[in-house]
Amino acid sequence: MDTRQGMSILLFLAAALMGFISFLSYRKRHLPVAKTMILMMLAAAFYALGYAFEVLSRSLNEVKLSLQIEYLGIPFVTTLWLFLIIQFTGTATGYRRRLALLLFVIPIAVFFIHLTNGWHHLIYERYILNTEGSVPLYTTVKGPWYKVHTVYNYFVLLCGIVLFIPMYWRALPMVRKQIFLLLLGAIAPMLFNLFFWFGISVDLTPFGFAVSGIVYVWGIFRFNLLRLTPLALAKVFETIRDGVVLLDYENQIISYNSAAEKVLPELGLMKRYPVYAGDVLSASPELLERLRSESVADERFSYQRFNEQQNKYYSCSLSFIYDSGSIPVGKMLMFNDITELKENEVRLRENARQLFELNAFKDRMFTVVAHDIRDPIALLVSLTQLHGEELAAADIEQTELFQELKGQVQGTFHLVDNLLDWYRSQKGTVAYLPFSWNLQQVVRQAISLAGVKASMKQIRLIEHIDEKISVSADKEMLDLILRNLLSNAIKFTGLGGRIEIGAVLEGKLIVVTVRDNGAGIDEKTAEMLSLEEPFPKAAVTGGDSGDIRFGLALAREFIRIHGGSLWFESEPGVGTTFSFTLHSSIDGRDTLDNFGMEGETDESHSSG
């Protein structure tokens, strides 16, 4: 195998390698960088392929034809590389298309000038047969446009290096490797081209592209060259709302985003990076202490600073960066602005303080007012009862009117009494102290208290409760429950009516029923009891029935405190049955069946 054949085989392999890189780049063609890489590698492939044919040429015409193939790529390779760098670094984002047109003016001109070189000889003035060796077959005398293109190529290469240098110093380790590979891929062909200018007659530039191809393949498979460009990383870095400062293992700041500069304005005062953190953060000794700590554990801490004419509060995190293995290669300091949260917290605390004071004032006022109202009304109730008896005995005409007045006063008294009970329950001053009680005796006591009001309407109060049934309940709450259910039944039961109270044992629960044969409950009361709110607004509205609804709502809440439930069945003109559940005290231990109530021990008790 002679020299020409060996060189051509190497050139064909180089062209194939560049074609393979184009294929790899095509798989990532949705990335602008990958599209530019495809064009650049295809241009280099045409250069190597054409030069392979030139080496194998046997005549001047074959040499010229091979040069036409080479010039499908030669004018464009370096310019495409610069455009790749522009995309990588994010340069000229707003006017990149116009910049691309400007950059490719000379390469396109060189292509067409070479295509018509036979007319004007501006690229190659003449071809001289090489009588001293087999490669190349013809040497060329370069024209003025060849020299223009050469200068332009080196200028383009220099521009790309200038763009890369600042990004390299501020980039992450992974990105630095990508930048280095792109630089090496561009420098290799230029280094090989220098041999041609130093007197070697063979153009070794295509072999430099073969080196570039190997470098790019290695970069694609080893360092994800086409997966995430430095531009993409930079965009992610800059769009993070939190401030981020990157430091190396020597506590030198190597990069930061714009959000970090708002937190630490002194970052923008330094002209070049990396720079020692102590030189930048001298005004923040607490941050320096954290950075200089020998601990390798990630940590979170708070940071406060006066910025933009106000105190700023930040939640900071210091994390360690690992390249490979367990040895950290750098640190990442992040600032999360929590100023608004802090201000809201201060406002909430102030609002809470004011609400506490208002609530305390309201509690005092409610207690004073409620008692100031309750005591006079209680006195009025007593006076109306006494005076009513006197009027009834004297058979005065206004007795009926006075009885109505007495009923209104008593209703108001019960409403105020229920209101106080509800208020104490909401405040938590009503303690739930369950004991075991004899249900029959508790019910009989409630009947005796309601008997006076029932007798006025000639209503019979009948109890059907087994004397052995005992319940676990709070006595005061149970009295209130029974009192309100009986008051409701008496209100809706007509003259000569009948109210029955019964209880049955169902497992561990006792179901207590209060049944009347009255007119049934009104729609507003039924609607109120069907709601799930703990204390609906309907309980305190509704005219004459407001006190009844309030009492039923309060009874339901106290039943819930006992772990039971309240329900009802009502039919207009037939009557209403209220039912509720309580927990039984089956063994009867600790039963308090003697609480000052003198009275009946019959199985069935009737009043009225």
Convert the pLDDT of each residue in 430-481 to its tens digit.
567 888 999 999 999 889 888 877 887 889 999 999 989 999 998 888 988 9
Quick one: which of 474, 538, 486 has its CA closest to 515?
486
Is 436 in contact with 401 (CB distance < 8 Å)? Answer: no
The pLDDT of 166-194, averaged and rounded, is 67
The pLDDT of 5-17, averaged and rounded, is 82
User: Per-residue confidence at 601, pLDDT binned at 50, 70, 90?
Assistant: very low
Task: Mean pLDDT check: name the lowest of 108-112, 307-311, 380-384, 483-487.
Answer: 380-384
Between 23 and 371, the more confident residue is: 23
Query: What is residue 182's three-state secondary structure?
Result: helix
pLDDT at 50: 87
pLDDT at 444: 93
User: Per-residue confidence at 600, pLDDT binned at 50, 70, 90?
Assistant: very low
pLDDT at 605: 46
Give the tokens for residue 132. Answer: 């001293």
Give the tokens for residue 428. Answer: 């938590």
The pLDDT of 63-71, averaged and rounded, is 89
Task: Give the largest CA-CA distance in the chain.
Answer: 157
Quick one: which of 368, 294, 304 has its CA closest to 342?
304
Concatenate the DSSP letters of all residues of 556-588 into one string. Answer: HHHHHHTT--EEEEEETTTEEEEEEEEEB-TT-
Separation CA 606–CA 447 (nearest Å): 9
Measure the CA angle with vertex 364, ends 358 and 368; round to 5°. 140
Is 499 in contact with 459 (CB distance < 8 Å)? Answer: yes
User: Per-residue confidence at 419, pLDDT binned at 50, 70, 90?
Assistant: low
Between 155 and 405, the more confident residue is: 155
Q: Which residue intervals of the chain bear CATH 3.30.450.20?
A: 232-343
Is 48 in contact with 75 (CB distance < 8 Å)? Answer: no
Cis ω on the peptide bond leading into residue 136 (within 30° of 0)? yes
Q: Can you name the CATH fold of 232-343?
A: Beta-Lactamase (3.30.450)
Is 50 exceeded by the pLDDT of residue 602? no
Give the tokens for residue 243. Answer: 């401030």
* Alpha carbon 508 to chain centroid, angstroms: 47
pLDDT at 595: 41
* Mean pLDDT, rounded, of the chain: 77
Residue percentage of the chain with pLDDT more than 70: 69
Separation CA 391–CA 375 (nearest Å): 24
Quick one: which of 244, 270, 267 has its CA closest to 257?
244
Taking each helix axis as running N to C, give the angle between helix 230-239 and helix 173-197, from 0 to 180 degrees, rounded to the nearest 10.
Answer: 150
Secondary structure percentages of the chain, helix, strand, coil, to 5: 60, 20, 25
pLDDT winner (highest mean) among 222-231, 299-308, 359-368, 427-436: 299-308
Please give the single-letter amino acid code of residue 8: S
End-to-end CA distance of the chain: 133
pLDDT winner (highest mean) among 267-281, 359-373, 527-541: 267-281
Is 88 in contact with 166 (CB distance < 8 Å)? Answer: no
Within 13 Å and on the Cβ side, how many CA atoms surround 457?
21
For the 430-583 domain, the top CATH level (class) is alpha beta
Between 247 and 169, the more confident residue is: 247
Is 434 in contact with 584 (CB distance < 8 Å)? Answer: no
Task: Mean pLDDT check: name the lowest of 284-288, 317-321, 323-327, 433-437.
Answer: 323-327
Q: Which residue intervals of the chain bear CATH 1.20.1070?
A: 3-230
pLDDT at 395: 59
Query: What is residue 146's three-state secondary structure?
Result: helix
Is 25 in contact with 180 (CB distance < 8 Å)? Answer: no
pLDDT winner (highest mean) among 129-133, 168-172, 422-426, 467-471: 467-471
For the 3-230 domain, the top CATH level (class) is mainly alpha
Separation CA 315–CA 359 (nearest Å): 34
What is the per-residue pLDDT across 291-310, written as a single tens digit (0 to 9) for each? Answer: 888 777 788 888 888 877 78
pLDDT at 593: 43
Give the tokens for residue 141. Answer: 């005398």
Phi-psi category of residue 588: left, alpha or beta, with phi > 0 → left and psi -120 to 50 → alpha: left
Is 60 exceeded by the pLDDT of residue 403? yes
Q: Which residue intervals of the chain bear CATH 3.30.565.10?
A: 430-583
Q: Residue 355 belongs to what H/E stretch? A: helix 339-394
Is 80 exceeded by the pLDDT of residue 492? yes
What is the per-residue pLDDT across 535-588, written as a single tens digit (0 to 9) for each? Answer: 444 444 444 455 566 778 778 888 988 889 999 898 888 899 999 999 988 654
Is 44 in contact with 18 (CB distance < 8 Å)? Answer: yes
CB-based contacts of 309, cutoff 8 Å, min separation 6: none
Is 264 in contact with 245 (CB distance < 8 Å)? Answer: yes
What is the per-residue pLDDT across 76-97, written as a single tens digit (0 to 9) for each? Answer: 988 888 887 787 776 777 787 8
Separation CA 88–CA 261 (nearest Å): 24
